[in-house]
Amino acid sequence: MFETLPQLSFDTLLIAARAVMLIGAFWVFALAFTRWRREDERNTRALHQQLERAFGELRSMHETVAVMSARLEALSEHAQSEAHRAPAAVTAAQRGYDVAARMAKHGADVQTLVETCGVTRHEAELLVRLHGAPGVEPAGTPPPARKRGSLLSVVG
């Protein structure tokens, strides 16, 4: 009636314990591997988002550089066109000074130089002093005070 169960040997118990421990270790490893994989996927998504933001900023900077390059080219062209115009303006102004100097040599007064040559009053006074007839002072200017022993007293 009662059957007796076979006696388990110590070796059989150790093998069973090892099998249980091995299955438990595989289960823990599978759990750790799953968590590691999920964490890796989250990190990959975060890195992907970071790269997308960086590429967006890079595109924006590229557009900004292109706009600035176009502006720089426009300014360069403008400066070149101004450089071509500037010598003509300088020569015209130089001609005005040359005409004013010739007129001052022939005795023109300050007011005439200002009206006809387009120079300022101070420039006209200087031209009359430099190129005018000796001893003729610009209108409205008192003669310079001469000090004894100065160079002006020797020259004048």
- What's residue 118's pLDDT? 82
Q: Which of 11-15, 39-43, 83-87, 96-100 has the lowest mean pLDDT?
A: 83-87
Residue 64, token pair as written in the block: 């900004």
Q: What are phi and psi of 144, to 5 degrees?
A: -65, 145
pLDDT digits (tens, 9 = 90+) for 99-155: 888 898 988 899 988 888 888 899 899 999 988 776 655 555 555 555 555 555 555
Q: Judge whether residue 11 has pLDDT over 60.
A: yes
3-state DSSP: the chain helix, strand, coil percent, rounded to 5? 75, 0, 25
Q: How far is CA 111 from CA 60, 65, 116, in A?
A: 61, 55, 9
Other Cβ atoms closer than 10 A to 19: 10
Please write down the HEC assignment for all residues of 106-148: CCCCHHHHHHHHCCCHHHHHHHHHHHCCCCCCCCCCCCCCCCC
pLDDT grade, residue 98 (50/70/90)? confident
